[in-house]
Amino acid sequence: MAKEFGAPPVILRNGTISAPAAGSNQRRPPIAPFQNPRTSNPNIPFLSFDIGSAAASTSYAPPPQISSSFGGVVGGGGGGTGFEDEPPLLEELGINTKQIYQKTLSVLNPFRINSDLHEDADLFGPFLFLMAFGLFQLLAGKLHFGIILGWMTMASAFLYVVFNMLAGRNGNLDLYKCLSLIGYCMLPIVLLSAISLFAPQGGIAIMLLTVLFVIWSTRVCAGLVVQLARYGDEHMGLIAYPCLLIYMLFSLLVIF
């Protein structure tokens, strides 16, 4: 026996609807394209989007204010006011420009050594002097940045080992302070490298200036080590000797 299939009604051009075949199931007429489903089938929910009402209902809400660990308020439309109480950036990095300036002035006077300023060691001042020394050498046509930094590290380790071998267990001079003292006492050698740009190379004048500036750096560095380190006054001559070798080595970069 043949199975009957339901056929949908056919809409003709004249608007008449052709009835389905006998025994077939009744179906809903198809919906024309781009027809509003709300009018064609009221059972299907339709979400209406009204641009005007959406824009009117949208309101700006300021973000919540969160208290930060710095004592201020983060967020909000007016901005945080806690940044006014923040310390300067150099102070946060541990760079005290006033102290560096005072240490520089103390090195410039070899007859009055003030060791109290060098109790707190730092590396920013020595780094500036080493970069200035390398820059003056570069202006003279010599690229010595890597040599300067390497020799400074080896010189600090050399002075640290020599002093602690002399003082024994009673020595209180650490490697960090050695690097700071040698770096600050490099200032006369930096001045020598600046003067050598205008002085004739290999002359007697530059040789005498080199001897003078090396003795200057040696006196200041040895005096600071003796005053800052414990039991250093007992070995003044032995401490001055490695300091003399260190600054004489750096002065060779200026002469040759």
pLDDT computed for residue 236 by the predictor: 85
- Say how far apart CA 123 and CA 187 lie, in whole Å: 14
When comparing pLDDT for 33 and 110, which is higher?
Answer: 110
Average pLDDT over residues 194-202: 90
Residue for token digits 């002359």?
203
The answer on pLDDT for 18 being more than 60 is no
pLDDT computed for residue 70 by the predictor: 46
pLDDT computed for residue 135 by the predictor: 96
Give residue 248's domain range.
97-255
Which span out of 16-25, 159-168, 216-225 was modeled with the highest average pLDDT? 216-225
Residue 45 lies in a domain: no
Q: How confident is the model at residue 48 (pLDDT cuts 50, 70, 90)?
A: low
With a pLDDT cut of 90, the percent of the chain lying above it is: 43
Domains of the chain: total: 1
Residue 65 lies in a domain: no
- Rounded to 5 degrees, what angle do the CA atoms 9, 12, 14 make? 140
Residue range 208-226, pLDDT digits in tens = 999 999 999 999 999 999 8
Residue for token digits 């946060």?
92
pLDDT computed for residue 69 by the predictor: 47
**Helices in 4-144 by DSSP H: which ranges?**
37-40, 51-57, 89-92, 97-108, 124-139
Q: Tell me which of 56-60, 93-97, 167-171 is least confident.
A: 56-60
